[in-house]
Structure 1
Amino acid sequence: MSHLNVHGITHLRHVDLAVPDYATQRTFYRDTWGLTEVGTDGDLSFLAAEGSPEQYIVRLRKADEKRLDLIAFGATDPAAVDALAAKLGAEGVQLVGQPGTLQTAGGGYGFRFFDLDGRTIEISSGVETRKHRAVEEGEAIPVRISHAVMNSNDPTATKDWYEKYLGFKLSDTLWSAHMGEMMHFMRCNDWHHSLAIARGPHTSVHHVSFEMRGLDEYMRGTGRVMRAGIKKIWGPGRHLAGNNTFTYFLDPSGNTMEYTTELERLETDQWHPTLYDIADPQTQDQWGTADPMSEIIAKDSFNTPDRGLFVAPPV
């Protein structure tokens, strides 16, 4: 069965964040979160995961205002990039620029555009891979970036946009009797989700998730971050949709970051999305080790309204 995205989108590459507390954030992602700073360029820091062939999975930019700079996805080849850019342009999606050679580490060929809510999205192919290694037993550092979850005040409209324009497929939905559809999990390959859209009061980053080697490494990493005095929002636990483990923390600038492991890979394309009721404790946490989801917990991941909507980042 083919899991290939109809437009040749292959995977999540990196999430780029602008932060006022740049020095603090660099230290957090290197020393506490366990990423490797592979380079800096002026006010930019590029952070890789030891287990991932991606040049970097997080980019930090020193800025006066906190914002999401962009979310980058890979594509199969330059032809797929060109075809998608032409399609989006013809359908009235606002492009930031035409496809061309990327100026970032590893080069590549790609373009940027605004999604329905005004986030900058980049699609690229041919980015050089980085020399990486197998993360060892007991080594509690991220293996790769797993997924990005974004807040939207109309998550169903945003989900529909990603289906229509970018060919993402719906894996599952979380639902509440009071609030309706709360989160849509979307895939572009056989991972249960690379992107999810959550219901929030405004457009912002909900969380970015990092895959650990296994359960032991996930727990060791959770403990290390807790011991470092970083605010733990929720976890450890295991979700029902995606079957993945979770521990959520607030990074120093108020973005939520997650350690996860064992995210489900879909065996078949004939996948039927399930509507899970978030009132069921099993939906939130199959283990029962995490505190029940509450408005207090949820509020932490609402984040502050994104200041960068429909404004392309400077780099």
Structure 2
Amino acid sequence: MSHLNEHGITHLRHVDLAVTDYETQRSFYKDTWGLTEVGTDGGLSYLAAEGSPEQYVIRLRQGEEKRLDLISFGSESVETVDALAARLGSQGVQLVGEPDKLQTAGGGYGFRFFDIDGRTIEISTDVETRQHRAIEEGEAIPVRISHAVMNSNDPNKTRDFYANVLGFKLSDTLWSEHMGEMMHFMRCNDWHHSLAIAKGPHTSVHHVSFEMRGLDEYMRGTGRVMRAGIKKIWGPGRHNAGNNTFTYFLDPSGNTMEYTTELEKIETDQWHPSVYDIADPMTQDVWGTADPMSEIIARDSFNDPDRGVFVAPPV
């Protein structure tokens, strides 16, 4: 049984965001969300999760426009990085640069390319790990980055790109009678999803999710962010697909961030993806504690149209 991605993609490393309100965002992620700022460089802030060996899980950049700078995934080796870059080039995927030594924190070796919607994706290996620690009982800060969900106006096309070109496997799909297929959960390892593609009016960030130590820490964290006056969009509840808990908040620049825990692991290659009808209340929230999903909730997750599609970030 192999859970490994056929092209050597191992896991989600970090999500890099450009923001216009840099200092406000830095303070939110450090003081409210519970990440640790491990370095700054001019208008860049690198934020790590205490329980994760990744150098950082969020990078903020002071920008004139809000955008997704990139999503970074790990790769097994220099060989798998080179092979994937060659494969993408041969399939007409636009590379931002050829594989080379990385100039970002932790170094390593990798390359960037545009996915089918114009997002910048980075694939890297041999990045230095950072000193991390076990999160203690009652400590309501993120252990690691869990997954990233992106909006696409053609989610099936985007799903096919990640499946056919990058070797992600489909775990499950959300469906609606009126809207068709609404969200595809994609995996590159045994976590139920490291990436999901949501149906939205434009290319943008839907949400980024952070794994908490357990249910108690997840609830304590949810409460702390609520008490800080941050707008809660939805939750607390527990999804059917992936079986993970959820509470969604809006960060100061309008990106949705999620606390989660207990995301399902898929133990078998013989997994058959399910299609869940979002009209069934049990699909969205098996606990029944969150408000029913509404257009108002959904609208927050549509986010602003991403101004960075098919434009590589400056760093």
CA shift for structure 1 position 229: 0.3
CA shift for structure 1 position 27: 0.0
User: What amino acid sits opposite 2:6 in the alignment?
Assistant: V
User: 2:267 — aligned with what?
Assistant: 267
Structure 2 counterpart SS, 1:97: strand
2: distance between equivalents of 1:163 and 1:142? 29
User: 2:3 — aligned with what?
Assistant: 3
User: 1:252 — aligned with what?
Assistant: 252
* 2:131 aligned with 1:131: yes
User: What amino acid sits opposite 2:78 in the alignment?
Assistant: P
User: What amino acid sits opposite 1:204 in the alignment?
Assistant: S
1:136-159 superposed Cα distances (whole Å, 9 cap, x missing partner) = 000000000000000000000000
CA shift for structure 1 position 277: 0.1
User: 1:235 — aligned with what?
Assistant: 235
Matches within 5 A, 1:139-154: 139-154=139-154
* 2:225 aligned with 1:222: no
CA shift for structure 1 position 37: 0.1
User: 1:302 — aligned with what?
Assistant: 302
User: What amino acid sits opposite 2:185 in the alignment?
Assistant: F
2: distance between equivalents of 1:169 and 1:196? 11
* 2:207 aligned with 1:207: yes
1: distance between equivalents of 2:71 and 2:176? 28
1:240-260 superposed Cα distances (whole Å, 9 cap, x missing partner) = 000000000000000000000
CA RMSD of aligned residues (A): 0.3
1: distance between equivalents of 2:17 and 2:203? 15
2: distance between equivalents of 1:269 and 1:25? 40
Structure 1 counterpart SS, 2:95: coil
User: 2:191 — aligned with what?
Assistant: 191
The unaligned stretches of length 5 or more in structure 2 are none
1:206-244 superposed Cα distances (whole Å, 9 cap, x missing partner) = 000000000000000000000000000000000000000
Structure 2 counterpart SS, 1:96: strand
The alignment-based identity, stated in percent, is: 84
User: 1:32 — aligned with what?
Assistant: 32
User: 2:110 — aligned with what?
Assistant: 110
2: distance between equivalents of 1:155 and 1:141? 32
User: What amino acid sits opposite 1:226 in the alignment?
Assistant: M
Structure 1 counterpart SS, 2:283: helix
2: distance between equivalents of 1:3 and 1:96? 29
2: distance between equivalents of 1:29 and 1:269? 37
CA shift for structure 1 position 267: 1.0
Structure 1 counterpart SS, 2:197: strand
User: 1:178 — aligned with what?
Assistant: 178
2: distance between equivalents of 1:91 and 1:239? 36
User: What amino acid sits opposite 2:41 in the alignment?
Assistant: D
TM-score normalised to structure 1 length = 1.00
The unaligned stretches of length 5 or more in structure 1 are none
User: 1:65 — aligned with what?
Assistant: 65
Runs of 4 or more off by more than 3 Å in structure 1?
none
Structure 2 counterpart SS, 1:24: helix
TM-score normalised to structure 2 length = 1.00
Structure 1 counterpart SS, 2:98: coil
Structure 2 counterpart SS, 1:99: strand
